[in-house]
A and B are shown apart, each in its own frame.
Chain A
Amino acid sequence: MELNLQHVEDACKELYIRALKLLPDDVKQGINRLKSTETDARAQVVLGTMVTNIAVAEREDNLLCQDTGLPIYNVWIGRGVTVDGVRLKEAIRRGCERATTEYPLRSSVVHPITRKNNHTSSGIEMPAIHIDFMDKADTIEIEMIPKGSGSENNSFLKMAIPAEGILGVKAFVIESVVNAGGKTCPPTIVGVGVGGTSDQCVALAKRAATRALGTHCSDEEGAKLEVELSTAVNQLGIGPQGLGGDGTAFAVHVEPAATHITMNPVAVNMQCHSARRARVSITPQGVAYGF
């Protein structure tokens, strides 16, 4: 399949807007699930307001949250897809810029030193574009994640050492969630990266935080850690918006990578309750949107 780059550009514009408006079903269900078991009266009101907001956004065709975030595009290229990689990245960037200027969206992106905002949601290395490959014929999939700053500002890396063991990893996760408190707009998805190099570890935490609710770590040990830590963080009492209650997190997600004999890195990245993402699949049959 020869990839049509105009389709990519249009889809990348559409993806940004869709992600900001439509919350995936698994996240909606996550809020309802926490609400059904929440014992704190104040937290019940907070979760109820979140449910109302989703309905208002759908009714008014408006953005769920004002934070348009840092735009992230994750791309998976299937077998037999022919594309000029440099042009592909340009098309993604143009789609992101067009969403911002044509909708218009708030550009949340500034130069890191001058703090200048060029009102296009783009800049040096932004949007963040990650390209990978997949074993699927004649298909390209693009996932768009607008990553809000409230949760992103609470990202943590610890180059723990082997002597600290897995207990050191668990303690760091708990510590990070406590330090973040209500700043991350809980309930959150707590993403944990374990192992790898330092940069891999942080990227794994992001992948974990942006995974769909109800999915599990493909590594057996990682999946066990998810269950244990998911229970633990919801015993802290931080609650929705940090105002107290049971529902601190929808889940803890873990993504592992093999690491060095002398290393034990752990990273935490969180996704807020408005855990937005959108996905498109482009095939010879056409362009199909989902989550």
Chain B
Amino acid sequence: MAHYNLPTPVSEADIRKLKINDTVSLQQTLFGIRDATQIHLFDRGRKTKFDLRGHAVIHTAPNVRKVPVSAEFPAGYQPICIGTTTSDRMERFTEPLMNEYGVRMIVGKGGLRESSAAAFTKHGGVYLAIIGGTAALETTWIDQIEDVDLDDLNPESLWKFKINQFGPLLVAMDSHGGSIYQDVKADVAINKAAVLKRLGIV
């Protein structure tokens, strides 16, 4: 269980070092994406101006205030509260995010499933778990909204955040087939059988 400070973008070698239960703090840049962003990128053929190769994306749609463009707010948005949404809905986008855009880290909550685990193994990627519902804390790790793309989808735009010590995040799925969620699922299946028995259900 090691801790890593990772400035983005990262290389495949950086990612292959990570094992489940390690922790990571990200530096520099983090991109925000969500359901609609990925539906438009992968189902409707839209493209982004951003180069996501080696980067981390977080499953989010932030609370923002529209302000005049300035040095402090280069995208014309002031962050209010930026948190994380449930990743599971976006399971089918992990493979194209990695394959077509070169994304290496997905920050989310609640975990991803088997097809994402396969994509992480194949391309060299990880899932970094954040604690869902702790957005006030997360917001303190974000310095600025640097840029935004696909903003007609607001709040589900593609956001570029400037970050400072974003973490610690838990490596919950690694590039070697490890997944805390799969481990917990296996334990829960055993526990569930015992619970049902105690309740008098066969």
Interface residues, chain A, with chain B CB atoms under 8 Å away: 42, 46, 49-50, 52-54, 56-57, 60, 62-68, 103-108, 115, 117, 119, 148-150, 153, 167, 170-171, 174, 178, 181-185, 228, 232-233, 235-239, 241-244, 272-274
Q: Does B2 contact A (CB under 8 A)?
A: no
Given contacts A53-B133, A53-B136, A181-B110, contact A243 B184 (CB under 8 A): yes
Q: Does B164 contact A (CB under 8 A)?
A: no
Choose one: A103, A167, A237, A273; the contact of B133 (CB below 8 Å).
A273
Q: Does B103 contact A (CB under 8 A)?
A: no
A residues near B66, Cβ cutoff 8 Å: 104
10 A-B interface contacts by CB (under 8 A): A49-B131, A50-B133, A62-B139, A63-B81, A106-B64, A150-B86, A181-B181, A181-B184, A184-B110, A243-B181
Q: Name the CB-closest residue of B to A49.
A: B131
A136 to B170, CA, bound (A): 51
B residues near A241, Cβ cutoff 8 Å: 109-110, 129, 131-132
A67 to B129, CA, bound (A): 17
Choose one: B36, B60, B135, B184; the contact of A238 (CB below 8 Å).
B184
A272 to B83, CA, bound (A): 14
Q: Does B199 contact A (CB under 8 A)?
A: yes
Closest 9 pairs between A and B when the two form their complex, measured CB to CB: A66-B83, A53-B134, A57-B136, A63-B81, A66-B135, A106-B63, A274-B133, A182-B110, A185-B132
Kindly supply a per-residue 1/0 record for chain B positions 89-120, scoring 1 wherever the CB is within 8 Å of any chain A CB and 0 otherwise.
10000000000000000000111000000000
| CB-based contact A244/B187 at 8 Å | yes
Q: Name the CB-closest residue of A to B111.
A: A182
Q: How many residues of B contact A (CB 8 A)?
A: 51
B residues near A107, Cβ cutoff 8 Å: 155
- In the complex, how many angstroms separate the beta carbon of B49 from the nearest chain A beta carbon? 22
Choose one: A63, A106, A183, A237; the contact of B187 (CB below 8 Å).
A237
Interface residues, chain B, with chain A CB atoms under 8 Å away: 21, 36, 60-66, 80-86, 88-89, 109-111, 129, 131-137, 139-140, 154-155, 170, 172, 180-181, 183-185, 187-188, 191-192, 194-196, 198-201
Given contacts A66-B82, A232-B198, contact A239 B192 (CB under 8 A): no
- In the complex, how many angstroms separate the beta carbon of A51 from the nearest chain B beta carbon? 10
A107 to B61, CA, bound (A): 10
A residues near B62, Cβ cutoff 8 Å: 66, 106
| CB-based contact B137/A183 at 8 Å | no
| CB-based contact A62/B133 at 8 Å | no
Which interface residue of B88, B136, B194 has the most chain A CB atoms within 10 A?
B136
Choose one: A115, A233, A274; the contact of B36 (CB below 8 Å).
A115
Choose one: B64, B89, B131; the contact of A46 (CB below 8 Å).
B131
A117 to B156, CA, bound (A): 10
B residues near A170, Cβ cutoff 8 Å: 199, 201
Q: Name the CB-closest residue of B to A235.
A: B195
Choose one: A64, A103, A228; the contact of B199 (CB below 8 Å).
A228
- In the complex, how many angstroms separate the beta carbon of B129 from the nearest chain A beta carbon? 7
- In the complex, how many angstroms separate the beta carbon of A119 from the nearest chain B beta carbon? 8
Q: Name the CB-closest residue of A to B156.
A: A117
| CB-based contact B85/A150 at 8 Å | yes
Q: Name the CB-closest residue of A to B134.
A: A53
A63 to B133, CA, bound (A): 10
Given contacts A104-B65, A235-B194, A237-B184, contact A50 B134 (CB under 8 A): yes
